[in-house]
Amino acid sequence: MNMDAFRLDGKIALVTGASYGIGFAIATAFSAAGATVVFNDINQELVDKGLAAYAEKGIKAHGYVCDVTDEAAVGALVKKVEEEVGVIDILVNNAGIIRRTPMLEMSAEEFRKVIDVDLNAPFIVSKAVIPGMIKKGHGKIINICSMMSELGRETVSAYAAAKGGLKMLTRNICSEYGEHNIQCNGIGPGYIATPQTAPLREKQPDGSRHPFDQFIISKTPAARWGDAEDLQGPAVFLASDASNFVNGHILYVDGGILAYIGKQPQ
């Protein structure tokens, strides 16, 4: 096997919301594999923080301010990236939010906001980059899905609805544009230790684990939370020529949670 198939030399990768966390980890892995990194975030402060973090790792990233729920702004972003960096080869729809609110306490407006960022935005950004990919004759789209693309849980009705929809958007992009040598796949992270999940891992006043932290450890065969770095290898694979016949697939990187029914009570 030619291991060069996993290289991303000469490719331009746009990772949305990649100033920190999962997006940042994936973008740094792309850079290590030879890609040019482009990212956006919602405001200049976050973009500047991201640029500083990439520079600290010796990566010359290209950062832009853009609200990925704004179709006109996304169109302008993609045009600017094409002019200043080049046509996008790889897109990672990573930007996302979560609201942990019981369904009966969540307003329709809050529900729509989560759907807008976690589902509508990947549609908008994918729609903006696909024409360039068609012209180039290839493209890779990776949607950051979730275990909530398969499971439900208390307080995350909007998030689960969005991520379930994102799974099906992934399959539909594959169905519509696979003939143009565009592969659209998803990564479904398990519980990853990021700033977003930090409240769920806080130590209790008595020094014990947060109850949810205990729950996740008990449900994960790997017996730990994932690190953002655990997603780097799968992301590089799905962005590279090594996955050219993988399309419409969701790769769950969850330490085995979805395969595990849990321990029998003693």
**Under DSSP, is residue 91 helix (H, G, I), strand (E, B) or coil?**
strand
Which residues contact residue 208 at a Cβ distance below 8 angstroms, ignoring those fewer than 6 apart? none
Active site residue 252: no
Burial of 24 (0-12, 13-18, 19+ CB in 10 A): buried
How far from the centroid of its chain's Cα atoms is residue 20's Cα?
12
**Rg, the chain, Cα only:** 18
Amino acid at 65: V
Quickly tell me which residue has 């740094």 as its tokens: 28
- In this structure, what token pair is assigned to residue 74? 């996304």
196-213 burial, b for 16+ CB within 10 Å, e for fewer? ebeebeeeeeeeeeeeeb
> Which one of the listed residues 54, 159, 177, 252 is annotated catalytic?
159
HSE, side-chain direction, 13 A CA sphere, residue 90: 33
Task: Please list the alpha-helical segments (H only) found in 57-184.
Answer: 71-84, 108-115, 121-136, 157-177
Burial of 73 (0-12, 13-18, 19+ CB in 10 A): middle
C-alpha span between 58 and 112 (Å, rounded): 39
Catalytic residues, by residue number, are 159
